[in-house]
Amino acid sequence: MSEPIIDPSSSSVPVAGGNLGVGGTGTAPVPGSGSGDYTEADISVLKGLEGVRKRPGMYIGDTDDGTGLHHLVFEVVDNSVDEALAGYCTRIEVVIHTDNSVTIKDNGRGIPVGMHPTENRPAAELVMTQLHAGGKFNQDNYKVSGGLHGVGVSAVNALSDWLRLEIHSRDGFVYEQEYACGIPQTELTKRGATKERGTIVTFHPDPTIFKNILQFSYEQLGQKLRELAYLNSGLEINIVDERHDKQQTFRYEGGIATFVADMNSTNAPLHPEVIAFIAEHDGTTVDVALQWNESYNEQLVCFTNTIKNRDGGTHLTGFRQALTRTVNAYATEYKLLGKDAKGSTLSGEDLREGLTAVVSVKVQDPKYSNQAKDKLVSSEVATAVNAVVSDKLAEYLERHPKEARIIIGKASLAAKAREAARKAREMVQRKGALEMTSLPGKLSDCQERDPRKCELFLVEGESAGGSAKQGRDRTIQAILPLKGKILNVEKVRFDRMLASQEIATLITALGTSVGPEKDIAKLRYHRIIIMTDADVDGSHIRTLLLTFFFRHFHELFEHPDADDPTGMRRKRHIYIAQPPLYKVKRGKVEKYLKNEDAMEDFLLDSVCDDAVVGGQHEGQPKLLTGAELKHAIKRANEGKRLRGLVDRRGDGRILAAFAELGLKVEDLRDRARVDLLTARVTEGLVGRYTELAGLRFEEPRLDDEHGTWELRASAGVGGVRRDTKIDIDIVRSAEFSGLRKVVEELRGLLTGPFTISFDGGPANPSPSFDAVAGTIEELGRKGLQIQRYKGLGEMNAEQLWETTMDPARRNLLEVKIDDVNNANDIFSTLMGDMVEPRRQFIEENALNVRNLDV
């Protein structure tokens, strides 16, 4: 059933480092003499994909904060979207598996599989392993595309410890190839016939590269996919999260006009219809949609060839210039600025208050500031956007005079409020409330004057503030107690915010001022830590503070590092303190535990050293105790979780039985092996479960596309039967593969029959290793007093320092913004004036709430 295309050991295959490391396998340069001389021997040559693994940040962004991790998915998805832009793809599916691998599947043309005319390698392998190899350099293939440099999917391959490529080719056959760290592990192999077309890429990020964060965010990926669906009218995009049994489908026929309408759904619009237009100027297609609402915030999102440019660029500049000039020209012509505004104009800031807009351009050869495409720098795009927006917006204002007057009236009010805010700032500053030389009396400042070393704790309540002041490190830690709940800045204009004493006190403590005079370089503390109770009021106060920082100090969430001119590395300043969830006490010994995992470790640690579990290993008696026993029990608990997930795909007992027998894809290609495993499963399950006495397997069916056999089983009692399918998709699923690995690992440690003893006592039989784990955890809880914390006030100064404030032991949560527009929508929903979106949000998320304090 297989036909080799090329031998993967061919010397033409680039080497991307050995196994999981970054060092190459070619000839290494001779190291220098150690005298400090810089010689020709010190010149390193990185081959193939070695450069990507050595400096991943150059290709995908930060590998430590989740940015680069999610960028891996975006790179592959963008290739599928390019197929949609070319008119060949109508459906994309993204699946997050339980082992945190991801599959991206499309129904495009499929990567070409034939031999490259000059490289003597299959084109698909070339694309996957060679930088700057792809079909987007020739505009006959893709008129416009998000990918430009032929780097995307090869970089994903280089940064994955394993990747599986499956192509449903235009020649009517399926082709497969597997990689590890960018190196082919198999040849590109031709399987069976298929009627489908498209490409399927499944990869697992390399944990040696992504050391801090290896968990994909369903919400972050979903936001990106939703945006792509808006930008590609009619394209269906599905996202499935098998870890949490969640999925969504995105498909929008209205394009970016629907995008803007949905972004404005949490605010009251000033005019009912979204202003939308599309036109071409000198080869650049400009697609714009905009709508004003009654809020005081601006939302502007920019895209180039469906790629989001989070730092804007020339299209944003062109849009803003055209908007300000066009509306002012209309207002001046029709004398809408009032008698007292003679000779004046509205500023761009005034006109953009409450504006929601999406600017999408399609450019044949766009230029960006970096590989992540954060900012568009093509100068000709500014001219094109300026021309199109000026023409189309002027035409709209002429045809809709009522809406034009409402828009200009809103901007005029914003101008008056801005002037009132300026006077309020001047008044407050004259009184000394915002002067750095006049720090608020309730602030207990630190001794250190280097802001990079200083921390400011914003503490809920005077009581907790008193404990924090007593327990802190006075050298670097400052404490600012907050009295009650601060003002909700989402519902008020700037001048009213400044009138709040708590807000003024906080701004003074920060030292940066606020508004036009704000200078973020004067920030007095580079760590601002929100420390509130773990109850409803504490959560509300935390949200009010985050709203304040997001609306008026957004730089604190993502501030470019001054030492990094590329802006790829970021510094963030807002953190949330994480007090311990549990305090456990046995006798006179107390211990703080931060979460459920820590609780599991504690329970096992307290018993495993005194427990002995007996069994067999390779036919010889073996005993497990201590760390080895703890590891085995944790793996057994993981097996329980995976069996629960497997059960969603069919009868978990049947699927688990195949996993325990080590069923792999290769087994499904051998009919005799399939029959043998089926017989063993039937015999084992019928003997173990009486209700499976009626277990029946249908005659295996051949899956021509993959050259594998497909099994179907049914079992049940009382006329209620459940069907279970065992095929290549099931066997490749993360939960099935994970369960198989757990079983193999446990079998490598110990097999039954099992016995268990404690403190040198007699060995008692145990029916299974799951039963062993249950017995040990139950014993771990015996005599244990468990306290679950809710508030900081329950701790004295010493406890607060030990658990929450001590830099050596604490657990801080860094606050970052993955998507500004998504964050804006959340703050508008939760903190804005409109009740209905908030009620809907609460209803949709009610089932996900745990430990609700009522």
C-beta of residue 192 within 8 angstroms of C-beta of residue 174: yes
If one counts every other C-beta atom within 10 angstroms of the C-beta of residue 642, the result is 25
List the single range of 444-448, 475-479, 830-834, 847-851 with lowest mean pLDDT. 847-851
The token pair at 136 is 């987007």
Measured CA to CA, the distance from residue 846 to residue 108 in angstroms comes to: 39
**Alpha-carbon separation of residue 531 from 511, 556, 749, 793, 811 (angstroms):** 20, 17, 44, 11, 12
Burial (0-12, 13-18, 19+ Cβ within 10 Å), 346: buried
Amino acid found at 487: L
- The CA radius of gyration of the chain, in Å to the nearest whole number, is 31
Phi, psi of 802 (to 5 degrees): -65, -40
CA atoms within 13 A on the CB side of 362: 16
| DSSP H or E run through 295 | none
Nearest to 226 by CA among 843, 822, 829: 822
Question: Buried b vs exposed e over 117-146: b needs ≥16 C-beta within 10 Å?
Answer: eeeebbbbbbbbbbbebbbbeeeeebebbb
Mean pLDDT of 660-686: 91
Residue tagged 């001054």 (tokens): 562
CA distance 15 to 23: 10
Domain 650-749 in CATH 1.10.357: no
Residues 458, 461, 464, 465: is their CA dihedral positive or negative?
positive
Q: Virtual CA dihedral for 377, 382, 383, 388, nearest 10 degrees? A: 140
Cα angle 330, 332, 336 (rounded to 5 degrees) comes to 90
**Residues β-bridged to residue 478:** 456
Tell me: pLDDT of 312 over 60: yes
Q: Cβ of 263: how many Cβ atoms within 10 Å?
A: 25
Contacts 24+ apart (CB under 8 A), 115-124: 115/5, 115/6, 119/12, 120/12, 121/6, 121/10, 121/12, 121/13, 122/5, 122/6, 122/188, 124/165, 124/167, 124/175, 124/177, 124/188
Instruction: Flag whether pLDDT at 437 surpasses 50.
Output: no
pLDDT band at 41 (very low <50, low <70, confident <90, very high): low
Per the omega criterion (within 30 degrees of 0), is the bond before 753 cis?
yes
Query: Residue 430: pLDDT above 70?
Result: no
Measured in degrees and rounded to the nearest 5, phi and psi for residue 267 equal -130, 155
Which residues make Cβ contacts (< 8 Å) with residue 118, sequence separation at least 6? Answer: none
Question: Residue 427 has what pLDDT?
Answer: 60
Which H or E element spans position 550?
helix 536-552
pTM value is 0.69
Check residue 204 and give its pLDDT.
Answer: 95
pLDDT at residue 147 greater than cutoff 70: no
CATH numeric code, 3-250? 3.30.565.10
451-579+798-848 CATH: 3.40.50.670
DSSP 8-state secondary structure symbol assigned to residue 842: H
8 contacts 195 by C-beta, under 8 angstroms: no
In Å, the largest CA–CA distance within the chain is: 99
Q: b/e map of 87-107 (b: 16 or more CB within 10 Å)? A: ebbebbbbbbbbbbbbbbbbb
Domain boundaries, the chain: 3-250, 256-426, 451-579+798-848, 650-749
In this structure, of 381-385, 400-404, 467-471, 818-822, the range with the lowest mean pLDDT score is: 818-822
Q: Is 692 helix (H, G, I), strand (E, B) or coil?
A: helix
pLDDT at 536: 75
- For 345-354, how does the pLDDT look when each residue is reduced to its tens digit (9 = 90+)? 899 989 999 9
CB-CB neighbours of 731 under 10 Å:
20
pLDDT number for residue 580: 81
- Same topology for domains 451-579+798-848 and 650-749, yes or no? no
Instruction: Kindly list the catalytic residues.
Output: 460, 533, 535, 537
pLDDT at 565: 42
Contact 136, 150 (CB under 8 A): yes
Q: pLDDT at position 276, please? A: 95
- Identify the CA nearest to 59 among candidates 19, 302, 51, 506: 51
Task: Give the list of residues 6+ apart from residue 123 with CB closer than 8 angstroms, or none.
Answer: 111, 112, 113, 114, 115, 116
Q: Which of 93, 71, 69 is nearest to 81 (CA)?
A: 93
Residue 16: predicted pLDDT: 30
What is the per-residue pLDDT for 533? 81
pLDDT at 167: 96
Residue 13 has pLDDT above 70, yes or no: no
Single out the residue of 486, 561, 505, 526 nearest to residue 812, CA to CA. 526
**Distance between CA atoms of 20 and 583, rounded to whole angstroms?**
40
Residues 698-725 as b/e (b if ≥16 CB within 10 A, e otherwise) read eebeebebbbbbbbbbbbeeeeeeeebe
The DSSP bridge pattern shows strands 751-758 and 764-766 to be: antiparallel
Closest alpha carbon to 72 in 257, 247, 201: 201
Q: What pLDDT sits at residue 429?
A: 53
User: What one-character DSSP code corresponds to residue 359?
Assistant: E
CB 711, CB 698: distance < 8 Å? yes
Distance separating alpha carbons of residues 17 and 431, to the nearest angstrom? 64
Q: Which residues pair with 177 in a beta bridge?
A: 165
CA distance 454 to 434: 20
- Paired with 801 in beta bridges are none
- Which residues have a Cβ under 8 Å from the Cβ of 705 and sit 6 or more positions away? 168, 174, 191, 192, 193, 194, 196
- Cα 108 to Cα 815: distance, rounded to the nearest angstrom: 38
pLDDT more than 70, % of the chain: 84
Return d(Cα 750, Cα 769) in angstroms, integer. 9
**pLDDT, the chain, mean:** 83
Q: 599-623, pLDDT tens digit by residue?
A: 888 888 888 988 999 999 988 999 9
Strand duo 284-292 + 299-304: pairing? unpaired
Banded pLDDT at 673 (limits 50, 70, 90): very high
% of the chain at pLDDT higher than 90: 43
pLDDT tens string 172-219: 999 999 999 999 999 999 999 999 999 999 999 999 998 877 789 998
Q: Using alpha carbons, list the distances in angstroms from residue 303 to 297, 376, 641, 842.
A: 20, 9, 41, 31
Instruction: End-to-end CA distance of the chain: give it in Å, rounded.
Output: 62
What is the per-residue DSSP string for 84-96?
HHTT---EEEEEE
The pLDDT score that the predictor gives to residue 267 is 86
Please tell us whether the domain made up of 256-426 is placed in CATH 3.30.230.10. yes
